[in-house]
Amino acid sequence: MKKSILVVGPALVKLIPKLENSFSIQTIPNRIPMICLPKIYKFKENKYLELRGYILNGEEYTDEIILSNWELSSKSTFLGENNIIKIVNKINSVAFKINEKVLDFILLNNHKYGFFTDIGNMNPLSFKQKMTMIEKRELAFFNSRKHLELNILGLATSFREVPSIYLPMRIDYRGRIYYVTEHLNYQGIELAKDLLEFSIGEKVYLTDQNAINYSKIFGANCFGNKLDKKFFLDKVA
């Protein structure tokens, strides 16, 4: 069996910024943010869903809209056009960008606030020859978290000057939507969420009370208040 492996060439390597306080990606993820608009999913001849999302050739490389699950005896399918497909396409078309001010603040003030595990920080258990199962799990969690954080910062550094990036999504057999981009997405840890913002903003007018209420909910929840949207909107209505 013959396999072809694509590697990053020198022309692309030169595009990765070499900045002070920058971070390198620890391991190149299989799925990174796109810098162009993803293809849309759509029904064709009312028979099957065209394979879209990442710009693949549709022959040897495809991504169906529904994530596969080996534990299921049968595969989930769509009976026809529906709103779920429209939702995925709409979310896939939303452009994001790296919040450079937040990125710089995190990199410059980590020693004070501990936003992430420093690359030179080693867990004392790393030097222990014999460990209990609990200690092994603790060390594995520490290394996994550190690897994740450094990869998030590495991706953010690489994409910091890109005006628009896109985070393709797919759905599982229950209809739940998941980002397929690794590390840097809104379903990730707080570090990943903090570094992303909308590339194209919207104005909130004083006459749009509904938008103002949602902004208040978002701001309050950012401080850990966990306001229930339905309860809050009913109270202010």
Q: What is the pLDDT of residues 69-101, one digit of tens each?
A: 778 788 777 777 778 888 888 998 999 999 999
In this prediction, residue 38 carries a pLDDT of: 84
Counting residues of the chain whose pLDDT is more than 70, the rounded percentage is 77
Residues 6+ apart with CB under 8 A from 151: 25, 26, 27, 29, 182, 183, 184
* Least confident residue range of 63-67, 141-145, 184-188: 63-67
How does residue 47 score in pLDDT terms, banded at 50, 70 and 90? very low
Domains of the chain, by residue range, sit at 22-201, 206-237
Average pLDDT for 110-124 = 89
pLDDT at 6 over 80: no
